[in-house]
Structure 1
Amino acid sequence: MEELSESSPALAFEKEAFELTVEDVYDISYVIGRDLLKISTTGEEVSDLQFKIVRVLEMFETLVNKYNLSLEELKMERDNLKSELDRIVRESSAGQEAQTLGPNKLVVDLKDPNRPRFTMQELKEVLQERNQLKAQLLVAQEELQLYKSGMLPQGEQAMVEVDLVSPSPLKPVPDTTDETKEEVFIQTEIRTTYENKDLRHY
């Protein structure tokens, strides 16, 4: 048996079926043809055998060629799918970064010293409470004017209902310069009471 070198056509016989190329089929054909020439017997049987071998090798070549083409197509399809996947991943990442917020939502930078400290609901409650305190102050001022004008008895504790939604407007009352100690005391008490309320709520 001849020694196989790296370029020997007989090396094609050592390969696996799915590793064969068209060149390997040519090498196999060469080796078989060369061995057939060594047969000294000539006759019809040998000629038929040669024809059959050639036919098998042609079929073999076609199958290998078709397999290699299919393999190349699969590689190209794989590369195309990989490129498409990379593109989808990039677009998905960009879409998440540029995702818009829904209605009534606000992006707040937590490092911003001027960022809002209250929610919208808390701000509404603070404004409503401020309006209530303003209404109470207007009623207290009106009550003080009534004391000053003498329209309320000095010994009677006036109980005034406060409409926190729509406070009543001030009524014009005549000014008086006769300010008693009791009126000064009432004015001081009212001012102290509402100043304390302002401190508690703010």
Structure 2
Amino acid sequence: MADVLILGANGQIARLSENIFLSDTGDDLKLYLRRADRLRDLANDRVELIDGDATDVDKLVESMKDVQMVYANLAGNNIEDQAKAVVEAMSKAGVSRLVWISTLGIYDEVPGKFGKWNNETLGDYITRYAAAAKVIEGSDLDYTVIRPAWLTNKDEVDYETTQKGEAFKGTEVSRKSIAQIVVDIAQVPSKFSKESIGVNKPNTDGDKPSWY
């Protein structure tokens, strides 16, 4: 049994992962977010709600007590500062396993017309997330950086992965697929250890996601 701290616990992927954790595993969860009362419906003997900000190092350290893995589902213009706070807190708390959700394009790894469209559409968002990923990869943590394709709400787990240094594949992937990867890593911590993985649904290549 693993205790997992989920940062940004009200995010869409995070909510999906929480449902999988609670239905398919015996893991206990600590759900960390601003305005934690938004998840009061999940509170039970396996779930602890923590009201906090992802840049509050002291609160993060306190929340990491008895935790085996941290899953960061964070966003915002200050994502690099959040990354620095998470790394510092994990180092102080003696927790090493981190799953960090990023975005596609942070290494300019998306080829062709889709890559050009992705860069133009996301703009500075990519730059900010690239800076945050650099903080994670430059740390001593046992990290996995996940770079999803454009996200859908399809009720499916269907994905393939690429490694850092490889060209990104496909244009889309379901949030449920990303959530399942997070849960799988918690069950087998060596899975995707020290890797930055691109994640897409097979056979979704194109100049842009199908709904654009």
Q: Which has the higher helix share?
A: 1
> Same fold by TM-score, threshold 0.5 exceeded?
no
**Larger relative strand fraction:** 2
The one of the two structures with greater contact order (alpha-carbon pairs below 8 A, sep at least 6) is 2
TM range (shorter): under 0.3
TM-score (norm 2): 0.19
Q: TM-score, normalised by structure 1?
A: 0.19
